[in-house]
Structures are given as structure tokens and as C-alpha cells.
Structure 1
């Protein structure tokens, strides 16, 4: 989908996009291994600001957070009233180190972590908008991830995945006014470029936020005994 993200190291990303960053409001990243909707997430806006945005897109006309969307489908983002202006004018890149998906078997949901096979950060295509938060009494930047069909490896767990941008396409995504060219970036990320493995069920808890959240779960084989 995804609904949970991890970002604990953005140094390589910041070096890669330094030509696009005019103002860095993130500075020293707050490591977060289990980002849920409504939490702040580092985001590079196409106007050049790198800041923490609200994970969950809200159009400026939304009365409350019930209208929030964490994802926008690549197949329809350019035509839906909620997203189309943001798609034209307010695109962004959301750097992550990985994301979580849950595999459903009967009534059981098993969490998996998805990351770059080579340990690189993943640059997700997103859209943003400003929304007035009455509780904070100020405007906030809100974001949604663009999604597409899952690749062959991930489709065994979930049928959708985020659109992951290649470095060579950053400028096009952020700055192009040619929407056909922008649409051409909605490609399914190669299965060979990601690793997927099972993680602890503790990630189901929003407050569970440490490096153990992204560690591979070691299964004890049936009949195997341990000393502890």
C-alpha cells in the first residue's frame, strides 16, 4: 500500500538531491523505524524545501482529517479532483530506507519489511498540499505516496507498491510541466532490486519504534530445540 515506513538515514539522499534543496528544515534526521499515517516524514518539495510533512494528504478544502489519503493511485492521480492540481504543480520526493507490508493468511496478518537490495535509500514519488490545521492554528504540508501495481516479488504479499524513482528521473518528477513525460515515470520497480523478509509482529504497534522493527525475524524450525 504501504501504510508504514522507515527512515533512519537520509545522508546519501541529501547528497544526491543537493542541487534541488534550497532550504533544509530537516537538518539532522530524527530516526524513525515505524512511521504511521499522520506522523511527520521528511519530504523534498518541488519548490526546494526539505521539511517534515504530515504523512496523509489533505486537500486545502478538506474540513477535517477524515478526508485524509496516504496513497494516490498512479492510474488516476491526474484526473481525480482531490489530487489533480497537486499532481500538476505540487510533486515531491519522500526518501525512505524501507516500508512494511502485511501478508494476509486466513485471519492472520504477517508483517514484512521491504528495502533496497543494495542498502540504498528509496526515493518515493509523492504529491503534497497545504492544509490549515485548526488545532495547531497554522498551515501544514501534507503528503501522499503514488502507488502502482506490485512487482512479481512483492505481489506474493500485496498487490500494490509505491512508485520508486530512479535518480536520473528526479528532475523530471520535480520540475517537468509535460504531464505525459511525468506519467512515464510510473513504472513498476524491478523485483531484483529489493529484498523482502518477515519482521516482528511488534511493528503492529505504532509506539514500537526502534531498530528491531526492521530486523529479520528468525523462525525456529518445527522440532528444533533451543537451550533457552
Structure 2
């Protein structure tokens, strides 16, 4: 269940999606290395708009923000009233450079960064809707990431992960009316394509947002003990 994201470079995604982007409303990306829920993230909607959205899904009929969801389970997305209509008519792609998960051992939480082994980004399947924000007196686009069971590599840390789309499936995900075809895209991403490594506990701080968030922790090797002399 990715609750923290890193999105700092969308150039490759824009190039791969240029045939699908009608209006680039993001422009020059604001680099973010530790994005929590309720903050803006870019997404390509199935209406062709590439824009900033609210990280946290609220259906248009929601009466309060207490019903916000940052994730939607792929196994039950069509059964849930909250997500059903969005799944049918309002799908999107969220280009993330990586996400964080925490390994819990003896009540200690160790953060790990998860990214694609070769590609610059992970194209995460999502759903969106418009919610009337009273404080702003306007509609805002809200979204949720779709999740599935974790692959073997990530499963050692967490049991869920985002649904990652292959480039060849971008158009199908955004445009297809065949829900069986769309459902077939809910695949577990191959373990061999993912890299994960431990990062600094600074990531635990919601307001800490620097490039160092994604730097690998290099643990010092213990100094070898000198051999004891018998004389």
C-alpha cells in the first residue's frame, strides 16, 4: 500500500505518452522526493489532460473528506460503490519514479525505496473523480492508486504493491470500454524488474523532502578484530 511517493522526473513518461497527452497542464515538473497523501501529484487522465491532482480519492458524491482513499484494491474495485464508476469511466496513469515501503521488525520500521530496475519511472494504474472542495469553492481532481498482491521481492517487506502498466498497455488502460480487457492488466509486476533498497529514516518525517530521501543507506562494515597474541 504505497503511501509515500517520489516524482521528480517525468520526461520519459511524457515522451512515451505523447500520443495520449492532449493538454500538458503540468509543464515543468515540481520535483518531489517524499510525497504524502493529500498533496498534489501529476497524472494523465483518460480525457487527455496531464495535470496535478489530489493524492487521495474522493468520489463526486462524497459528503466529507473522511471517506478519502489513497489506494483501491484491484480485486474488488468493480464491486465497491466508491470506485465502480471511476473504474468504468475515469481511469488514469500516475508516473512515479518510485515509492516507499516500511519493513517492520521488533516494532522498528525501516524505510525502503522501490523503483524500476531499468526504466526511469513506474506507470501506476489509477482512478480519478472530481470532488467539490468547499474551502477552494471549486472542483478538484482526486485520485487513488490501484494495488495488487506484492511480487516475491517486495513481499518480503509488504504484502501489497501498485499495479504497474507496461508501455504497450497505456492506451488500453485509458481508452478501452472492454472491462475484461482492462481487468487483464491487473498483473503483479515481475520481481526481476524492481529494485529496492534501504534509505534514511529521514523519510519518516512527512516534511522532509530532499533528494537524499532516495539515497541508498550504506552500512559500515564492523572493523575486523586484531588477532590475539599467544605470547
Task: Flag whether TM exceeds 0.5 (same fold).
Answer: yes
Q: For 1:50-100, what per-residue CA distance to the aligned partner results, in whole angstroms no more than 9, with x for missing partners?
A: 000000000112122111000000000011000000000000000010000
Q: Which consecutive segments of 4 or more residues in structure 1 shift more than 2 A?
A: 221-225
Q: Normalising by structure 1, what TM-score?
A: 0.97
Q: Matches of 2:135 and 2:186 in 1, distance apart?
A: 36
Give the drift of 1:119.
4.0
- Contiguous gaps of at least 5 residues in structure 1: none
| Residue 25 of structure 2: aligned partner | 25
| Residue 123 of structure 1: aligned partner | 123
Give the drift of 1:31.
0.3
| Residue 99 of structure 1: aligned partner | 99
Q: Matches of 2:73 and 2:115 in 1, distance apart?
A: 21
Q: Matches of 1:119 and 1:187 in 2, distance apart?
A: 18
* RMSD between aligned residues: 1.1
Q: Matches of 1:54 and 1:31 in 2, distance apart?
A: 16
| Residue 181 of structure 2: aligned partner | 181
Q: How has the CA–CA distance of structure 1 residues 20 and 106 changed in structure 2, closer, same or farther, with 3 Å as cutoff?
A: same
| Residue 57 of structure 1: aligned partner | 57
Q: Matches of 2:224 and 2:34 in 1, distance apart?
A: 31
3-state SS of 2:82 partner: coil
Q: Matches of 1:132 and 1:101 in 2, distance apart?
A: 31
Q: Normalising by structure 2, what TM-score?
A: 0.95
Give the drift of 1:223.
4.3
Q: Whose Rg is larger?
A: 2
